[in-house]
């Protein structure tokens, strides 16, 4: 239902830091690069981030809001195994609202196996459990191609959820001839990715794709194609 160190103080009589001879200096955490989703426009096929990314590598996507477009601030991470797209997509969605759990923790919570994450309802349950809300609902799209009513509901959900800072997790089926950029063209790909923005003027949606197929991590996709990729699966919105 939607409702809308302890530390030990050491006195040092000196100005500045005390460095003991031979003491190891802590390395600063690696900087996570931040990217703008709208820097190069929002037409379908526009890449926000592309290039090789190792499993587990991260990118911060800056949230932006214009007259027609709205994108969310998320912590993107490449999926750490070939079958953790569900946990990785769930992690990206949670990162818009909280410090997200690890992919490995989410894999346990989702019941993910080497065969993947079985059903989108498992994603819905885990999202609501972490956020402490009943915002997310499982939306089925059994008709392929989708009906106009299913398309209208999907667009309404995209706008409503993004405007309220709730990314959408979609379970997709991408056969040869109908695939997002970089997908293996000779295979049907069963996958989860996260919708983190939209542009009403261009009829596009912003995808955070944890698979990083051919280095495609964050890209704009036409809403029409998104609507054809989800059947006969579903999405959490």
What would the pLDDT profile of 9-62 be if each residue is shown by its tens digit?
222 222 233 233 444 444 455 677 888 999 999 999 999 988 767 898 898 999
pTM (whole model) above 0.85: yes
The single-letter DSSP state of residue 102 is P
Q: Exposure string (b/e) for 71-95, b if CB count within 10 Å is 16 or more?
A: bbbbbbbbbbeeebbbbbbbbbbbb
Question: Residue 114 burial (CB < 10 Å; 0-12/13-18/19+)?
Answer: exposed
Q: What is the distance between the alpha carbons of residues 109 and 93, in angstroms, rounded to a whole number?
A: 15
Q: Supply the pLDDT for residue 18.
A: 28
Question: What are the tens digits of pLDDT across the range 180-226?
Answer: 999 999 999 999 999 999 999 999 999 999 999 999 999 999 999 99
Question: What are the tens digits of pLDDT across the range 88-118?
Answer: 999 999 999 999 999 999 999 999 999 999 9
Domain residue limits at 160:
41-236
Question: Residue 77: pLDDT above 50?
Answer: yes
Question: What are the tens digits of pLDDT across the range 60-69?
Answer: 999 999 999 9
Is residue 36 in a domain? no
C-alpha dihedral sign at 71, 72, 74, 77:
negative
Is residue 142 in a domain? yes
Q: Tokens 């949230």 — which residue?
A: 63
Other Cβ atoms closer than 10 A to 163: 12
> How many domains does the chain fold into?
1
Three-state DSSP class for residue 21: coil
Maximal C-alpha separation, the chain: 74
CB of 192 within 8 A of CB of 170?
Answer: yes
CATH (domain of 177): 3.90.70.10
Q: What is the distance between the alpha carbons of residues 146 and 151, in angstroms, rounded to a whole number?
A: 6
Quick one: what percent of the chain has pLDDT higher than 70?
Answer: 87
Angle at 7 between CA 6 and CA 9, to 5 degrees: 140
How large is the C-alpha radius of gyration of the chain? 20
Question: Residue 139: pLDDT above 60?
Answer: yes
Least confident window among 3-7, 53-57, 73-77, 179-183: 3-7
Question: What are the tens digits of pLDDT across the range 152-179?
Answer: 999 999 999 999 999 999 999 999 999 9
Q: Supply the pLDDT for residue 30.
A: 61
Is residue 230 in a domain? yes
Structure-token pair, residue 109: 């919570």
Is residue 17 in a domain? no
Is residue 6 in a domain? no
Is residue 119 in a domain? yes
Is residue 152 in a domain? yes
Is residue 18 in a domain? no
Q: Supply the pLDDT for residue 23.
A: 40
Q: How far is CA 146 from CA 90, 222, 225, 232, in A?
A: 24, 15, 11, 9
């Amino acid at each position: 239902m939607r409702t809308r160190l302890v530390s030990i103080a050491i006195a040092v009589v000196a100005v500045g830091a005390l460095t003991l001879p031979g003491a190891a200096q802590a390395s600063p955490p690696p900087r996570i690069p931040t990217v703008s989703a709208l820097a190069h426009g929002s037409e379908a096929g526009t890449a926000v981030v592309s290039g090789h990314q190792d499993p587990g590598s991260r990118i911060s996507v800056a949230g932006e809001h214009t007259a027609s477009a709205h994108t969310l601030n998320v912590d993107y991470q490449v999926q750490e195994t070939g079958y953790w797209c569900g946990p990785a997509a769930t992690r990206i969605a949670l990162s818009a609202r909280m410090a997200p759990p690890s992919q490995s923790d989410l894999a346990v919570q989702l019941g993910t196996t080497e065969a993947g994450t079985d059903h989108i309802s498992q994603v819905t349950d885990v999202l609501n459990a972490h956020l402490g809300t009943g915002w997310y609902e499982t939306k089925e799209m059994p008709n392929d191609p989708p009906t106009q009513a299913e398309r209208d509901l999907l667009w309404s959900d995209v706008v409503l959820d993004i405007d309220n800072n709730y990314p959408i997790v979609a379970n997709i089926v991408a056969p040869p001839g109908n695939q997002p950029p970089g997908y293996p063209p000779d295979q049907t790909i069963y996958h989860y990715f996260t919708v983190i923005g939209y542009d009403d003027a261009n009829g596009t949606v912003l995808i955070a794709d944890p698979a990083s197929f051919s280095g495609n991590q964050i890209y704009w996709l036409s809403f029409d194609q998104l609507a054809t990729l989800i059947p006969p699966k579903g999405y959490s919105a």
